[in-house]
Structure 1
Amino acid sequence: MKIISFGDIHEDIRNLSMMRSELETAELIVLSGDLTNCHGKAETKRVLDAIKKYNKHLLAQYGNMDMQETDSYLSQEGINLHGNGYLLGDVGIFGCGGSSATPFHTPSEISEAEIERFLTDGFNKVKDARWKIMVCHTPPKDTTTDIIQNGMHVGSQTVRDFILKFKPHVCISGHIHESRNKDKVGDTIVLNAGMFRDGWYIEVVIDKGALSAALKSIA
């Protein structure tokens, strides 16, 4: 199984055509959050429709820069990862959208307690899967994926604690645009692809009993 993931799209879909082959050959496309710029259903649909031209197998969740109606629309479409989990053969994928509190009072911020609850709700739906992939828009604290420009770590301690307790094989995050990187928390691979317009995405491959996860570049 090949999974292609990216997030922090912010309505900028110009790079899609440059990764046509990757999109068309993936079994699943996962969108980790921030599909829009403080917008809702109409703009979310526009992003999803553009991706569906290449691959209709999608799972997605809202980010802190998406309105609440994006979350509702993804649920209506039956593809919402937020607080939810999906089994695809022996692969389980679960997620938590929104983000922890920011200084900017963005549209969809949630508490640390809510992050834990949504992750737990999703995890419980896939806990028996051989391979578990966690998609959390907020990265775990104290990694190379949660550092802002002044060097501060602004990720979630709750997300980090959840990873250490439940040990998913991969955590796909985003949110902190300048912190595109790959790291580990315990044995869990953590990836942040940064903004989609910068040409980076994540590839997860599960084949013959082995899993690999890597940052990839369109260029």
Structure 2
Amino acid sequence: MKLLAFVDLHSDLNQLKKLIAKAKEKQPDYLVCAGDISDFGRDIDQIFKELEKLNIPMLIIPGNHESSEGITKLCTKFKFAINIHKGCYEVNDYCFFGYGEGGFSEEDREFERIANKFKKEINEKKKIIFVTHAPIYGTKVDYISQLGHRGNKSSRKFVLEVKPKLVICGHLHETATMIDKLGSTVIINPGKYGKIILI
């Protein structure tokens, strides 16, 4: 399966054109957006309309610049978009588990609650792709020079316990395009430029 993952577009319409061109060239099976597709909703309908023309399904979560309710409404209006926030989308032997919003706290009790529920319900045979807005603590994707590690420890614990095949995250623009590993899990911040990932 081929993914075109991106995050932190922040209503950059010029970059959107480049992202669409990449999607047309590479023909991914899914677009995956790890949040902040808009700048507090600016041009968000236009962004969805342009992406809809690709006729490629998009898995999406809200970032800290969108509300969960807003993304839910857009995914109802635009059928190509699938909101995976606090849920799981299964395709073949993969499960895309999404958790959006936030990005500023080291610990997230709500995520821990959702993650514990997910761990009890998930089919152990499924390969997990974890899509989250907040970067994973203690990795290259959460490290900012002079500030240190700024990521989420709750997500780190989840990754170490569940061992997803892949994590797609963002929030920190400084670490866009960074790739790291935590145990056997590959962690990617694809940035607004978008990254083709083969799984």
- Normalised by the length of structure 1, the TM-score is 0.78
Structure 1 residues 82, 120: CA separation in 2 closer, same or farther (over 3 Å shift)? farther
| Match 2:180 to one of 180, 183, 188 | 183
| Structure 2 CA distance for aligned equivalents of residues 8 and 123 of structure 1 | 28
Report the Cα offset of residue 160 of structure 1.
0.4
| Structure 1 CA distance for aligned equivalents of residues 107 and 45 of structure 2 | 27
> Is the counterpart of residue 170 in structure 1 residue 166 in structure 2?
yes
SS in 2 for 1:116: helix
Give 1:67's aligned residue: 67
Structure 1 residues 148, 55: CA separation in 2 closer, same or farther (over 3 Å shift)? farther
| Match 1:201 to one of 178, 188, 194 | 194
> Is the counterpart of residue 97 in structure 1 residue 90 in structure 2?
no
Structure 1, residues 62-114: CA drift from partner, whole Å, max 9, x if none?
00111343233255356111101111111211110001436xxxxxxx96111
Give 2:53's aligned residue: 53
Q: Which moved more, 1:85-94 or 1:113-122?
A: 113-122
| Structure 2 CA distance for aligned equivalents of residues 8 and 183 of structure 1 | 19
SS in 2 for 1:56: coil
Partner amino acid, structure 2, of 1:201: G
Give 2:155's aligned residue: 159
- Normalised by the length of structure 2, the TM-score is 0.85
Partner amino acid, structure 1, of 2:197: V
Seq. identity, %: 28
| Match 1:118 to one of 96, 114, 117 | 114
Partner amino acid, structure 2, of 1:94: F
Structure 1 residues 127, 202: CA separation in 2 closer, same or farther (over 3 Å shift)? farther
| CA-based RMSD | 2.4
Report the Cα offset of residue 146 of structure 1.
0.6
| Conservation of the 8 A alpha-carbon contact between 1:95 and 1:122 | no
SS in 1 for 2:140: coil
Q: Which has the higher contact order (CA 8 A, sep 6+)?
A: 2
Structure 2, unpaired ranges of 5+: none
Structure 1, residues 113-156: CA drift from partner, whole Å, max 9, x if none?
11223344556665445422100100110111012342321100
| Match 1:82 to one of 77, 85, 100 | 85
| Structure 2 CA distance for aligned equivalents of residues 79 and 69 of structure 1 | 13
Structure 1 residues 146, 129: CA separation in 2 closer, same or farther (over 3 Å shift)? same
| Conservation of the 8 A alpha-carbon contact between 2:31 and 2:58 | yes
Structure 1, unpaired ranges of 5+: 103-109, 207-219
Q: Would you identify which runs of 4 or more consecutive aligned residues in structure 1 move more than 6 Å?
A: none
